[in-house]
């Protein structure tokens, strides 16, 4: 049996599975593709990927962008996804000149945009095992996120966590992280990011899957 989140171990124990019958399999990130992207100039201070749903923390995202546009010189953000409905709100908030809409993009272009950005903003209200955080990390891009209960077991210290759902703290953390990145300081450089990239690579995920199948 496979589980897709470390927090599921206790559940499998409760329903009677032995530990040797269970294999944890990562969500998987194409870290090899991310590593093949040529070096990009940092054009965007922030990047966000998602859909128009309250779960994704749209209101907090917009409030944060408004704050950042006022305190960071020449602030720029790239938003990825089907976000046509968001454009009127961006315009009404006076954010048009700060925000670029990428729409749907290819995998290559997504990784290129990550590499061209300084911080990934993750104001979601809840998530499971969000691959997009892993995609940001394998591009060596810091993540600012609310500390929802499912994150730390997977991402550990690789996220800059903010108490749920402290919007003021989220704004402050985003501002500080962008300032650090502009000055050449990336907190990820102090961590063993390579181990994360290897553990959650498609290659490692495939190997774990095949090993688990052999045990079945």
Answer yes or no: are the C-beta atoms of 126 and 54 closer than 8 Å: no
Answer yes or no: are the C-beta atoms of 81 and 54 closer than 8 Å: no
* E strand or H helix that includes residue 69: helix 58-71
Q: What is the pLDDT of residue 151?
A: 93
Answer yes or no: are the C-beta atoms of 31 and 194 closer than 8 Å: no
6 three-class SS: helix
Tens-digit pLDDT string for the chain (216 aa):
675 666 555 656 666 777 766 666 667 889 999 999 999 999 999 999 999 999 999 999 999 999 999 999 999 999 999 999 999 999 999 999 999 999 999 999 999 999 999 999 999 999 887 899 999 999 999 999 999 999 998 999 999 999 999 999 999 999 999 999 999 999 999 999 999 899 888 687 677 666 766 555
Measured CA to CA, the distance from residue 59 to residue 53 in angstroms comes to 10
Produce one character per residue of 68-96: b if its CB has 16 or more CB atoms within 10 Å, e if not: bbeebeebbbbbbbebeebeeebeeeebe
Q: What is the pLDDT of residue 17?
A: 73
Close Cβ partners of 194 (under 8 Å, ≥ 6 residues apart): none
Q: How big is the chain, counted in residues?
A: 216
User: Which tokens in the block code for residue 117?
Assistant: 């950005």
Close Cβ partners of 176 (under 8 Å, ≥ 6 residues apart): none
Q: What is the CATH number of domain 28-189?
A: 3.40.50.2000
Measured CA to CA, the distance from residue 87 to residue 84 in angstroms comes to 6
Measured CA to CA, the distance from residue 102 to residue 11 in angstroms comes to 40
Residue ranges of domains in the chain: 28-189
24 three-class SS: strand
């Amino acid at each position: 049996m496979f589980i897709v989140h470390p927090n599921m171990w206790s559940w499998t124990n409760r329903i009677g599975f032995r530990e040797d019958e269970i294999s944890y399999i990562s969500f998987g990130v194409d870290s090899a593709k991310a590593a093949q992207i040529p070096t990009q100039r940092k054009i965007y201070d922030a990047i966000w990927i998602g859909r128009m749903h309250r779960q994704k923390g749209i209101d907090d995202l917009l409030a944060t962008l408004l704050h950042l546009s006022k305190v960071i010189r020449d602030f720029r953000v790239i938003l990825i996804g089907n976000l046509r409905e968001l454009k009127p709100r961006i315009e009404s908030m006076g954010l048009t000149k700060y925000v670029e809409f990428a729409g749907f993009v290819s995998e290559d272009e997504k990784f290129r945009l990550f590499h061209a950005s300084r911080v990934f903003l993750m104001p979601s209200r809840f998530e499971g095992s969000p691959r997009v955080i892993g995609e940001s990390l394998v591009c060596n891009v810091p993540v600012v996120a609310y500390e929802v209960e499912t994150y730390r077991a997977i991402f550990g210290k690789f996220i800059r966590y903010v108490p749920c759902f402290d919007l003021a703290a989220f704004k402050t953390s985003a501002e500080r992280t962008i300032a650090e990145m502009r000055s050449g300081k990336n907190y990820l450089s102090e961590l063993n990011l390579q181990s994360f990239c290897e553990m959650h690579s498609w290659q490692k995920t495939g190997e774990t899957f095949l090993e688990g199948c052999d045990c079945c």
